[in-house]
């Protein structure tokens, strides 16, 4: 219930006898479940059937689930769950075309969920790439309303799109048509302040560019690209409009750079600068810093009792920056608060 779990997907799978063992957990209070939520997106990956999410001990309502107490160095046994009958999952297929109706191969497809009649309630990257005919197929969807769209995340393509909506009821869906638009390009170099690149390799970083939506019918268009050894980068497939830039490690790292400033033609740019339609931007300078400073202090919250299973984090941002770093409050801090929350320190 809030504790970080080990990043090993195989341990969360049952064996051929239906037995599971999750190890390496920190002490804490947990609710254990198996299965998927219908209407919550992917419910069965590549399989045709799935089980409705069931919590220990054998209930579908999370509020009625039993809490499993796990002590330091301890082991919780006999956490057995009995699931109901399985239900069928479905697939969605279609194609991606450009403004002339020609198929676009090699584009990445994302999906947006529409739950509780909300216009947009969350999106996920499917990992599906269109084939040589611009066609795609994604399996394992539960009943619900979805939108399929083109994304340029993870070095994928140079296009974006608005979502093409469809509904999954009790059969596979075909003929989903996504109209892709050739996006803008943002390119330049990442420069470490004070020559720190001699210690921290720039090639281990990635640059993200996030277009801020202009209306609720649009997807927050995000694209990423790796940074070359000489610090150069090129992010493709961006939507015109306001855009923010981020720099982060490509893999797990306790050291995260912060952006000191962004420059173009010697002029400083704020986060949320404008990308004009038909005008890609090159020659961008993104200056980063690996800070060595430390901020120490005490956080105090008022207005209620903090649940014992809550985890509180302090996030520190440079003035005017969109990203920052942070740390979890330790056990020496006494807090009172009705909800889990994040405190921002400037």
Confirm whether 235 is domain-assigned: yes
Confirm whether 68 is domain-assigned: no
**Unique residue bearing structure tokens 């469809």:** 166
Half-sphere exposure of 33 (CA within 13 A, CB side): 17
Per-residue pLDDT for 140 more than 60?
Answer: yes
**Same-domain check for residues 273 and 309:** no
Q: Give pLDDT, residue 164.
A: 92
Q: Give the number of domains in the chain.
A: 3
**Same-domain check for residues 149 and 118:** yes
Final residue of a domain: which of 181, 208, 233? 181
Confidence band of 335 (pLDDT split at 50, 70, 90) = very low
Percent of the chain with pLDDT over 90: 21
**Same-domain check for residues 280 and 305:** no
Instruction: Dump pLDDT digits (tens) for 242-279.
Output: 899 988 887 766 567 888 889 999 899 998 898 898 89
| C-alpha to C-alpha distance for 130 and 236, rounded to whole angstroms | 17
Per-residue pLDDT for 318 more than 80?
Answer: no
Which two three-digit tokens encode residue 311?
């985890």
Among the ranges given (88-102, 134-148, 214-228, 239-253), the one the predictor scored with the smallest mean pLDDT: 214-228
Confirm whether 275 is domain-assigned: yes
Confidence band of 6 (pLDDT split at 50, 70, 90) = low
**Same-domain check for residues 100 and 168:** yes
Which two three-digit tokens encode residue 98?
């450009």
Q: Supply φ then ψ for residue 187, to 5 degrees.
A: -135, 160
Confidence band of 179 (pLDDT split at 50, 70, 90) = very high
Confirm whether 81 is domain-assigned: no
Instruction: Dump pLDDT digits (tens) for 183-239.
Output: 899 999 998 887 555 445 677 788 988 887 665 555 667 888 888 888 899 999 888
DSSP 8-state code for residue 193: G
Q: What's the pTM?
A: 0.65
- Strand-pairing partners, residue 99, are none
Q: Give pLDDT, residue 39.
A: 56
Among the ranges given (79-83, 221-225, 341-345), the one the predictor scored with the smallest mean pLDDT: 341-345
Final residue of a domain: which of 267, 289, 311? 289
Confirm whether 334 is domain-assigned: yes
Q: Give pLDDT, residue 9.
A: 55
Per-residue pLDDT for 7 more than 70?
Answer: no
Per-residue pLDDT for 346 more than 60?
Answer: no
| C-alpha to C-alpha distance for 316 and 343, rounded to whole angstroms | 9
**Same-domain check for residues 277 and 194:** yes
Percent of the chain with pLDDT over 70: 71
Q: Give pLDDT, residue 176.
A: 96
CATH number at residue 133: 2.60.40.10
Residue 238's alpha-carbon distances to 63, 109, 153, 212, 312, in angstroms, are 42, 15, 10, 10, 35
**Same-domain check for residues 154 and 243:** no
**Same-domain check for residues 202 and 147:** no
Which two three-digit tokens encode residue 124?
């996920």
| C-alpha to C-alpha distance for 303 and 311, rounded to whole angstroms | 17
Q: Give pLDDT, residue 283.
A: 93
Confirm whether 255 is domain-assigned: yes
- Strand-pairing partners, residue 31, are none
Per-residue pLDDT for 16 more than 60?
Answer: yes
Query: Of 23 and 115, which is predicted with more confidence?
Result: 23
**Same-domain check for residues 306 and 322:** yes
Q: Which of 221, 276, 293, 210 is nearest to 247 (CA)?
A: 210
Q: Give pLDDT, residue 252.
A: 66
Among the ranges given (107-121, 138-152, 178-192, 201-215), the one the predictor scored with the smallest mean pLDDT: 107-121
Residues in contact with 346: Cβ distance below 8 Å, sequence separation at least 6, in sequence order: 316, 317, 319
Give the chain's length: 346
**Same-domain check for residues 230 and 157:** no
Confirm whether 42 is domain-assigned: no
Q: Give pLDDT, residue 216.
A: 59
**Same-domain check for residues 195 and 229:** yes
Q: Supply φ then ψ for residue 197, to 5 degrees.
A: -60, -15
Query: Of 341 and 82, which is predicted with more confidence?
Result: 82
**b/e code 215-240 from CB counts within 10 Å (16+ = b):** eeebbebbbbbebeeebebbbbbbbb
Among the ranges given (33-42, 48-57, 83-92, 100-109), the one the predictor scored with the smallest mean pLDDT: 33-42
CATH number at residue 277: 2.60.40.1120
Final residue of a domain: which of 159, 181, 203? 181
Q: Which domain holds residue 129?
A: 89-181
**Same-domain check for residues 193 and 284:** yes
Confirm whether 22 is domain-assigned: no
**Same-domain check for residues 163 and 189:** no
Name the pairing type of β-strands 267-269 and 258-264: antiparallel
**Is the separation of the CB atoms in 257 and 247 below 8 Å?**
yes
């Amino acid at each position: 219930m809030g504790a970080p779990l080990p990043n090993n997907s195989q341990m969360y799978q049952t064996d051929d006898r239906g037995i599971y063992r999750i190890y390496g957990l920190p002490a804490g209070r947990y609710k254990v479940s198996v299965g998927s939520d219908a209407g919550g997106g992917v419910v069965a990956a590549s399989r045709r059937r799935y089980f409705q999410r069931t919590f220990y001990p054998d209930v579908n309502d999370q509020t009625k689930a039993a809490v499993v107490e796990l002590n330091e160095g301890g082991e919780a046994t006999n956490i057995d769950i009995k699931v109901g009958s399985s239900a069928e999952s479905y697939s969605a297929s279609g194609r991606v075309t450009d403004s002339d109706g020609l198929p676009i191969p090699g584009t990445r497809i994302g999906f947006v969920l529409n739950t509780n009649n909300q216009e947009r309630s969350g999106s996920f990257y499917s990992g599906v790439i269109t084939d040589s005919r611009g066609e795609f197929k994604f399996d394992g969807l539960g009943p619900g309303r979805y939108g399929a769209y083109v994304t340029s995340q993870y070095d994928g393509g140079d296009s974006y799109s608005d979502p093409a909506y469809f509904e999954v009821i009790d059969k596979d869906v075909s003929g989903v048509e996504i109209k892709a638009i050739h996006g803008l390009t943002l390119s330049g170099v990442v420069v470490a302040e004070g020559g720190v690149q001699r210690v921290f390799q720039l090639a281990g970083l990635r640059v993200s560019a996030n277009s801020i939506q202009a209306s609720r019918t649009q997807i927050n268009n995000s694209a990423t690209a790796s940074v070359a050894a000489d610090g150069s980068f090129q992010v493709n497939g961006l939507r015109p409009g306001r855009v923010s830039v981020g720099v982060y490690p490509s893999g797990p790292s306790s050291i995260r750079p912060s952006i000191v400033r962004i420059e173009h033609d010697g002029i400083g740019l704020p986060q949320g600068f404008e990308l004009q339609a038909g005008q890609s931007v090159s020659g961008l300078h993104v200056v980063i810093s690996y800070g060595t400073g430390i901020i120490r202090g005490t956080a105090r919250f008022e207005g209620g009792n903090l649940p014992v299973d809550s985890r509180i984090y302090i996030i520190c941002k440079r003035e005017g920056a969109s990203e920052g770093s942070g740390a979890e409050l330790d056990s020496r801090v006494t807090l009172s608060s009705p909800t889990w929350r994040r405190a921002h320190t400037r």
